[in-house]
């Protein structure tokens, strides 16, 4: 575990840059994490980020892309548009959560 400073906040991250303590996350930090990976957050992005954080709090693990799509009604294709390349990984990163299980 490493401590780094992002958006003026000292946060603990793993070797891939994911927060290891989700309670260190703030929306300001989420916006900066998104900027670092080239994503400008819209209201739709924020809706998904907030869903993922609420779901993590309830389930104890990061939701898979399929669960995000099913629970929010956002088609997987649109998730790829909002979070290009690896949407589950990028959504978890911006949300300050661990990568979903099965995500490489």
pTM comes to 0.93
Contact 79, 68 (CB under 8 A): yes
Topology of the domain comprising 2-95: Dissimilatory Siroheme-sulfite Reductase; Chain: A; domain 1 (3.30.1420)
Average pLDDT value for the chain:
93
pLDDT in tens, 39-90: 999 999 999 999 999 999 999 999 999 999 999 999 999 999 999 999 999 9
For 21, the 3-state DSSP assignment is coil
Alpha-carbon distance of 23 to 53, in angstroms, equals 10
Alpha-carbon distance of 40 to 23, in angstroms, equals 23
């Amino acid at each position: 575990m490493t401590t780094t400073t992002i958006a003026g906040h000292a946060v603990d991250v793993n070797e891939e840059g994911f927060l290891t303590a989700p309670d260190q996350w703030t929306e300001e930090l989420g916006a900066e994490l998104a900027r670092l990976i080239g994503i400008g957050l819209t209201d739709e992005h924020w809706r998904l980020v907030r869903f993922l954080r609420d779901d993590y709090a309830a389930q104890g693990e990061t939701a898979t892309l399929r669960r995000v799509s099913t629970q929010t009604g956002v088609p997987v294709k649109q998730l790829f548009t909002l979070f290009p390349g690896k949407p589950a990984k990028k959504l978890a990163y911006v949300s300050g959560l661990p990568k979903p299980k099965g995500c490489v």
